[in-house]
Amino acid sequence: MPTAAVLGASGYTGQETLDRVLAHPELELVALGSDSLAGRGAAALDVRLNGNLPPFVPNAEALAAGAEVVFACLGHEEAAALEPPAGAVVVDLSGAHRLDDPALYAAWYGFEHPRPETLGDWSYALPELAPPVGPLIANPGCYATAALLALGPVADLLDPDGVVIDAKSGVSGAGRSLQGSSHAGFVLENVSPYRVGSHQHAPEIAQVLGFPVCFVPHLLPVRRGLLVTCYARADADAVRGRLDEAYTGSDVVRILPDDVAPELARVQSTDAAEIAVFSDRATGTAVVVCALDNLGKGAAGQAVQNANLALGLGETAGLRLNGVLV
Ligand SMILES: NC(=O)c1ccc[n+]([C@@H]2O[C@H](COP(=O)([O-])OP(=O)(O)OC[C@H]3O[C@@H](n4cnc5c(N)ncnc54)[C@H](OP(=O)(O)O)[C@@H]3O)[C@@H](O)[C@H]2O)c1
């Protein structure tokens, strides 16, 4: 059974990844990394975790524990400085290894990449479009996953001028640390855009599509789930046909029947995504909508899917593909 380590296990994506590793039929957890919980038992994270699990150790120690697969659930800058252990599969859930051009890190992430010469060693892996190549895997961003599932297979059918992606996410997308912008008093009963024109997923989406898009994220007063509505000049029937073809047989991405709209409620707490295509009667604009869970297909679910592919396991082993009926 391949052994696994989770770094940054006390954060939202770390906790979700840990949950999937524990439910995975073919992975054995051997190291639980958390700088903030180091020295404490697993129950310090959640009382339901018991003494059979390894105790928390500092992230550097978990990285060096000899696990065959390491899930790095850390902040961007911390992950950028990681030295991957030789021979291990490493799945980085942060943005630290997603962009090919190191100069983009200063421009979009606000820090100089500390190991720019290593960026070419990592593959940007969105399994439905580009499965991992090699052991170092840059897991796509949550918004980027939804936008690319919606537009990646049809990029050549779109007029690249004026593609707009209107995106909305639950507050867990901002991580567990306390910030004024994710404070209940600001978020509840409220909706607002943020990082308009400067969100770091814009260059990630452009890198895959081959052209820039206007990407505007909004914060929703819900805990989890995200939805992107993509507007482009294109033939909606051709777009629907291509997406149907791209996801036929997929256990993860579902193309909805005509006139059924994606919903957060159906994808929350799952590792699945759903997509629908519409044509705007007034302007002929093609509208592609994708919903997924930012912590599922947008993070931990996709990380485990990528690890499965890299380790030669069943692609969906350990994933949660069905939510409850709502
Ligand atoms: N949230 C999402 O929807 C999402 C989706 C896709 C990708 N990502 C990316 O995944 C990475 C981790 O994101 P995240 O959402 O898991 O972030 P997070 O909840 O803020 O956790 C990030 C790190 O902060 C530490 N931490 C935990 N609780 C904390 C607290 N209360 N105050 C301060 N620090 C705390 C943890 O490290 P220790 O355990 O070592 O202390 C953890 O690794 C980021 O690079 C993010 O961009 C996030």
**pLDDT the model gives residue 323:** 82
Q: Provide the sign of the torsion angle of the four alpha carbons 23, 26, 28, 33, taken in this order.
A: negative
Residues 152 and 254 in one domain: yes
> 136 and 68 share a domain?
yes
Question: Are residues 149 and 131 part of one domain?
Answer: no
Say whether both 258 and 307 belong to one domain.
no
pLDDT at 193: 97
In short, whether 94's Cβ falls inside 6 Å of ligand 1 is yes
CATH of residue 39's domain is 3.40.50.720
CATH number at 238 reads: 3.30.360.10
User: pLDDT tens across 96-105, in order?
Assistant: 999 999 999 9
Query: Ligand 1 center to residue 190 CA distance, Å?
Result: 24
The answer to the question of residue 326 being in a domain is no
Distance 94 CA to ligand 1 centre (A): 9
pLDDT band at 50 (very low <50, low <70, confident <90, very high): confident
Q: Is 67 a domain residue?
A: yes
Same domain, 158 and 191: yes
Burial class (CB in 10 A: 0-12, 13-18, 19+), 160: middle
Average pLDDT over residues 174-192: 94
Any domain includes 35: yes
Q: How confident is the model at residue 325 (pLDDT cuts 50, 70, 90)?
A: confident
**Nearest-10 Cα torsion for 304, 306, 312, 316:** 50
Each residue of 116-153: b (16+ CB within 10 Å) or e? eebbeebbbbbbbbeebeebbbbbbbbbbbbbbbbbbb
pLDDT in tens, 253-281: 999 999 899 999 999 999 999 999 999 99
Range name among 43-52, 100-109, 288-297, 303-312 with the lowest pLDDT average:
43-52
List the domain range (segments joined by +) for residue 223: 143-294
If asked whether residues 157 and 86 sit together in one domain, one would say no
Q: The whole model's pTM is what? A: 0.97
Q: 173 CB less than 6 Å from ligand 1?
A: yes
Mutate-to-test residue for ligand 1 from 74, 222, 264, highest number of ligand atoms within 8 A of CB: 74
Can you tell me whether residue 272 is helix, strand or coil? coil
- Round the average pLDDT of the chain to a whole number and report it: 97
- Evaluate if residue 4 carries a pLDDT over 80: yes
Give 3-state DSSP helix, strand, coil % of the chain, rounded to 5: 35, 20, 45
Q: Let me know whether 30 and 150 are in one domain.
A: no
State the total domains in the chain. 2
| Same domain, yes or no: 166 and 242 | yes
Q: For residue 199, how far is its CA from the centre of ligand 1 (angstroms)?
A: 17
